[in-house]
Amino acid sequence: MSLLLAALALLLASGIAAAALRRRPGTSSAVAAIGTVAAAVLGLIPSVRVLVDGAAVQAHAAWQMPFGSLAVAVDPLTAWFLAPILLLSALSAVYGAGYFRAHDPHASTSMAWFWFQILVASMVMVCIARNAVLFLLAWETMALSSFFLVAHDKHKPEVRRAAWTYMVATYLGTACLLPMFLLLGRASGSLDFPGLSGAHLSPGMTTAVLVLALIGFGAKAGVMPAHVWLPEAHPVAPSHVSALMSGVMIKTGIYGLVRVAGLLNAPPVWWGVALVFLGIVSGVLGVLFALAQHDLKRLLAYHSVENIGIILLGLGVGWVGVSLNNPAVAALGFAGGLLHVLNHALFKGLLFLGAGSVLTATHTSEIDHLGGLLRKMPVTGVTFLIGAVAICGLPPLNGFVSEFVIYAGSFTGALTAQVWSGVVLAGVVAALALIGGLAVACFTKAFGVVFLGEPRASHAAPVRESGRLMTVPMAVLAVCCTAVGLAGPAALVAVTRPVALLTGRLDMHGVFAHAVAPLVKVSALSLTLVVVVALVAVVRWRLLAGRAPAAGPTWDCGFSRPTARMQYTASSFAQPITDLFAKILHTRKVLVAPPGYFPSGGRIETETPDFGRERIFDPLFSAASRALHPLLRIQQGHAQMYILYVIIALVVMLVWKVR
């Protein structure tokens, strides 16, 4: 515990130091990056230790805050979320030092570093807090610090708009968390988490608590339809901040959901079904909207929504298993969901860092302007490819491990399911399959159009690979993706202790040993696949030995002068899919067809606005604003009037009190 508190202190100290070094951006970056790495190392030690030996550590101190106490603890569930937070923070910080230098070495980034350190510290605090007041304070600090990071380029209007969207979404979420903790606290008489778990709630109360948790934490996690802030905020934030926010910050929403649902003795049956339903909606719609995007970072933001959907599918299967009293299904579902939390942090962090590297080199994240980058940026290209294969859930990388575990849970449950649970589990299988297929479509598009073929537009400056500070973190994450993919059984063993906290009263004896066995074979086959690839490559090399391959232009079916502009673009690649799902996506097209027999100057623009924003929140907010318009009359800008309001309020309260 003391190591973790030391890590927090180190984060705060290096943040303040970085903020103080306003005049020297280079030193400021170095201080912040070194501070984060050191803090991460300090913090990872207790996290890993708790995961290995399972003994929770805690600390408790009195606090002047009403209802508050400085109760912190690290149990396996906390440790499971802490580990990716610390790892990705350290790598993002190192990358950020390179990123800021590459963009503008003289711009002052000291405040960005200060907020970055605060963000990391508050994420750690959210995970270790064991008191509702402390938790909410950390939660708000996290929201505020990430708001300032999103608004880093505040002179651009679209950045300010995105930051406000984020602010509104996160406060709507908090507005639900506050009453949720109050309901729990009133029932149990304590705001400390161990006390909260003793609360005896009526079924109606339980429903209220769970719904509030779903909205409050779901808004942070990016569950559809509360995802509107993700595709706005992720593209405009500095790339290492996007990586951190998308990779781990939105997972604090999942952490909150799991923690609060775990506090209740046994969530009702509808809870698992609701999570599966939300998972299907977020997963399928997330990947569909991702397919329709042609901004690389916006595309990745929608994929975060999709992956949160996959996590919810896993957790939903887990709670369905709890409802069915089936320990194997519960264990596999929770394990798959929690493993995906780790895996998504690894590959999404990697992909956002890769997107930032592309952005740094080409000054655009518009996919249709890019192409052929693999030659010029080999490290970014290869690591992005690894991230892309991983996020599609393909073997032999880590995404496959977690999706396999969720599938295994669904198949196991379907063997003995009744009608309702059978339909739910079949829904999980079909949704995962569809999401997987569409993700392959989306990432062959993203990787293929950005890194393969010929450049689609000429860039002002020659494109160069990013510096070591940026490529090394990407390489580390790529290695992590591969390692988790090949060591699936070890990952499953590591997640058993957090899962055991969620399965409640089920008898888990021998369940995990049974679940690990197939993963051992999966790992064996993944290794075999790697070996077979090498063998086939050797065969090809032998076959071609002594025969120099010829080089020529791409065969374009008799057309002798193919140009880079004739290549398929991201928009044309995705068009059959966006057309098929046009009823959902509502892609707007502006088409100026080339006129006449000798056509020139045609133009097409497509834009897919977010349905949540267009259909739900914009109408809702404008209706609310219309309804509240009359209240504007009391806001006149005269200080005297406001003082009058204060006096009236005071008098009313006085009368009410002495009455």
Partner 1 sequence: MEGAMKPDSIINIALALALAPLLQGVISRVKAVFAGRIGQPLLQLYFDLARLSRKSAVYSTTTTWIFRAGPIVSLACTLSALLVMPFAGIPSVMSFPADLILLVYLFGLMRFFTVAAALDTGSAFEGMGASREVLFSALAEPALLLSLLYVSRTTGRLSLSGMLAQASVVTPGLILVLAALAIVYLCENARIPFDDPNTHLELTMIHEVMVLDHSGPDLAFILYAASLKMWVLGAIIVGMSAPAIAGLPWWLGYLLYLAGMLVLAALVGVVESGMARLRLVRVPQLLVAACTMAGLAFVLVLR
- Report 563-602 residues binding partner 1 (CB under 8 A): 564, 566-568, 572-577, 580
Residues within window 11-40 making contact with partner 1, judged by CB under 8 A:
none
> Which residues have C-beta within 8 Å of that of residue 345, sequence separation ≥ 6?
84, 85, 87, 88, 247, 248, 251
**Closer residue to partner 1 (CB): 356 or 453:** 453
CB of 221 to partner 1, least distance (A): 25
**Closer residue to partner 1 (CB): 392 or 501:** 392
Residues within window 118-157 making contact with partner 1, judged by CB under 8 A:
none
Q: What is the rounded distance in angstroms from the CA atom of residue 357 to the CA atom of residue 464?
A: 10
361-392 b/e with 16+ CB inside 10 Å = b? Answer: bbebbebbbbbbbbebbebbbbbbbbbbbbbb
Site string for partner 1, 364-403 (x = CB under 8 A): -------xx-xx---------x---x--xxxx----x--x
> Does 281 sit near partner 1 (CB under 8 A)?
no
> Does 487 sit near partner 1 (CB under 8 A)?
no
> Does 289 sit near partner 1 (CB under 8 A)?
no
> Does 334 sit near partner 1 (CB under 8 A)?
no
**Structural contact between residues 346 and 427, judged by C-beta atoms closer than 8 angstroms:** no
- Residues present in the chain in total: 659
> Does 437 sit near partner 1 (CB under 8 A)?
yes
* Sign of the C-alpha dihedral computed for residues 471, 472, 473 and 477 taken in this order: positive
Q: Which conformational region is residue 222 in: left (phi greater than 0), alpha (psi within -120 to 50 degrees), or beta?
A: left
Residues within window 37-76 making contact with partner 1, judged by CB under 8 A:
none
**Closer residue to partner 1 (CB): 2 or 554:** 554
- Site for partner 1 (CB under 8 A): which residue of 239, 412, 466, 503? 412
**Closer residue to partner 1 (CB): 238 or 321:** 321
- Site for partner 1 (CB under 8 A): which residue of 423, 592, 641, 644? 423
Which of 254-262, 316-324, 445-453, 480-488 is the region at the interface with partner 1 (rule: CB under 8 A)? 445-453
Site size toward partner 1, by CB under 8 A: 86
CA dihedral 241, 243, 245, 250 (to 10 degrees): 180
Q: Provide the β-strand partners of residue 295.
A: 366
Q: What is the rounded distance in angstroms from the CA atom of residue 96 to the CA atom of residue 629?
A: 44
Output the CA–CA distances (angstroms, integers) from residue 483 to 44, 167, 474, 486, 533, in the order listed.
18, 37, 14, 5, 18
- Site for partner 1 (CB under 8 A): which residue of 61, 460, 461, 557? 557
DSSP letter (8 states) at residue 472: H
> Does 302 sit near partner 1 (CB under 8 A)?
no
CB of 482 to partner 1, least distance (A): 14
Which of 28-36, 188-196, 358-366, 434-442 is the region at the interface with partner 1 (rule: CB under 8 A)? 434-442
- Site for partner 1 (CB under 8 A): which residue of 434, 487, 490, 584? 434
Which of 194-202, 218-226, 307-315, 562-570 is the region at the interface with partner 1 (rule: CB under 8 A)? 562-570
The number of beta carbons lying within 10 Å of the beta carbon of residue 331 is: 28
Q: For residue 591, give the 3-state DSSP assignment.
A: strand
Q: Provide the β-strand partners of residue 71.
A: 60
In the structure encoding, which two tokens stand for residue 644, read together? Answer: 């009058």
* Sign of the C-alpha dihedral computed for residues 340, 342, 345 and 348 taken in this order: negative
- Site for partner 1 (CB under 8 A): which residue of 8, 124, 199, 417? 417
Q: What are phi and psi of 551, to 5 degrees?
A: -120, 145
> Does 169 sit near partner 1 (CB under 8 A)?
no
Residues within window 508-537 making contact with partner 1, judged by CB under 8 A:
517-518, 521-522, 524-525, 528-529, 532-533, 535-537
The helix (run of H) or strand (run of E) holding residue 452 is none
Q: What are phi and psi of 60, to 5 degrees?
A: -140, 135
**Closer residue to partner 1 (CB): 161 or 521:** 521
Q: Provide the β-strand partners of residue 606.
A: 589
Q: What are phi and psi of 131, to 5 degrees?
A: -135, 140
> What's the burial of 412, exposed, middle or buried (CB within 10 Å: 0-12/13-18/19+)?
buried
Half-sphere exposure of 453 (CA within 13 A, CB side): 24
**Closer residue to partner 1 (CB): 13 or 530:** 530
> Does 552 sit near partner 1 (CB under 8 A)?
yes
**Closer residue to partner 1 (CB): 477 or 570:** 570
- Site for partner 1 (CB under 8 A): which residue of 454, 459, 472, 586? 454
Which of 132-140, 143-151, 555-563, 603-611 is the region at the interface with partner 1 (rule: CB under 8 A)? 555-563
**Closer residue to partner 1 (CB): 106 or 583:** 583
